[in-house]
Homo-oligomer: A and B are copies of this chain.
Amino acid sequence: MSVLNFHIAVVLGYALVIAASSPVANADTHWTVPRIPGASEQALVLGRDLDGDGDPDEITIRLEVVEITEEVYPGEYVKFWVFAPEGQGMTSIARVPSPTIRVEEGDRVRIILQNTHYFPHTIHPHGTIHPNAMDGVPDITQAAVNPGESFSYEFTAKNPGTFFYHCHVQPDVHVHMGLAGMLIIEPNRPNNLFTHLVIGAGRMPDLAKATVEAGYGREYSLVYMDIDARLNRIPAAYKDPREIEKRMHREYDSTQRQPNIFLLNGRSFPFTLRDTPIEVKSGERVKLRILNAGERPMKLHTHGHHPTLTHVDGYPLPVGMRYTRDVFAIGAAQRIDLELRPGDDDVYASGPGVWIMHDHTEKTVTNKGISPGGDITTIVYEGFMGDDGLPKVATSLDRYFDPEYYLGHVPVFDPAIFNTTLEDYEYGWPEEEPLGGTFTYPVRQSE
């Protein structure tokens, strides 16, 4: 058991790697854990190296439940509930989705849920091998964790792969409010030192040993969600938890739910381009870990690129079973791992540039029905990221950063093509009765 002083980084906010400001010597473990800015010293504690292979095998994570409001696309502020590392004082590093948690095969994992929220919650480790009592299903395997209470989810990490964790209390509401994140079990390797909490998912600040062995040069965790803004408005609109309970859990009919906001790592287009791009370079192999934390059956399309499916729900596909396509179906709660091979090889990749990637269910690439929006992000080749933090595109993305666009206040096309001006646009024509009588169609929610 060696004493290491390794650098643990945390991704904060928009996929920026923040160097720790004040390393904390962890006396009983000899690991120096860099502080996560804004988090308490106890948010992540790395314990003993049980198998003597040079990395910590006792991982303790303390999560709170935090209600936050985020601007997911220009002008759209949405209320979320997320699991967040235990905060320090009044600060919080809460971010939607809940952090990507990474542990190693064989680790003794302790995730302590400290319910700092006004509703009961649990954590269900989805897809992992764990004792029944740690399954997080209220009433069935435990009592729900009430406000002010704690519960320690303890298990030894077994089968490596890409998993999921989420609240299992009233899941038709709580999962979609944001109490969901990716859980990765990295294969056991010596000196396997990596960041254990990636806030907001996105680019991995470092690769685990097995990922490097497999030939990857980069890795991303991509968490997709779908939101019904009308549900998320309830806790923003009412103050009394009893009123919120009644409206969210008894009035709101989730069976009639039709989501209208579509998120990748907590953002919708155009913010996705800035906050969660897929940066690549030719010749590199990129590992994409994808979780559909929403309800919709996703069909993920990579423009110009044909990734290879390597894992389903964490389990590797035998090499002969791996296949390549351009639209991958990912159902609710499913995870797939893809191997993306940027380059120009006439089979897997079309060459450098800026390529969009999105669910091909067209309505999901809108923001409340206004296109383009939703979970579109871009695969950006080296040299194609601009100094402004946005990919270098053919024209300009400016109008999509104007909240007026997604409010439907301005025409989606340049008025000049209709030989008119913006000023005259909506006053240039009289509203007339439609031909053939009136008819209705789904109209955007008024603001």
Contacts and interface: CB of A to CB of B under 8 A. Distances in A.
A263 to B, nearest CB: 13
Contacts of A314: 325-326
A423 interface: no
A123 interface: no
A352 to B, nearest CB: 7
A90 to B, nearest CB: 23
Given A295-B363, A411-B242, A313 B326 contact: yes
Interface residues of A, number: 138
Contact of A371 (B170, B256, B259, B393): B170
Interface stretch (A43-51, A192-200, A214-222, A245-253): A245-253
B366 A254 contact: yes
Interface in A242-301: 242-243, 245-247, 249-260, 295, 297, 299, 301
B393 A139 contact: yes
B366 A255 contact: yes
Nearest to A347: B159
Interface stretch (A2-10, A95-103, A316-324): A316-324
A420 interface: yes
Contact of A140 (B346, B354, B439): B354
Contacts of A306: 127, 159, 313, 315
A397 B323 contact: no
Most buried by B among A247, A362, A435: A362
Given A126-B326, A329-B334, A435-B238, A442 B256 contact: yes
Nearest to A408: B250
B418 A351 contact: no
Interface stretch (A28-36, A67-75, A171-179, A202-210): A171-179
A433 to B, nearest CB: 9
Contacts of A147: 417
A254 B175 CA distance: 24
A230 B354 contact: no
A228 interface: yes
Given A253-B444, A295-B362, A362-B295, A371 B172 contact: yes
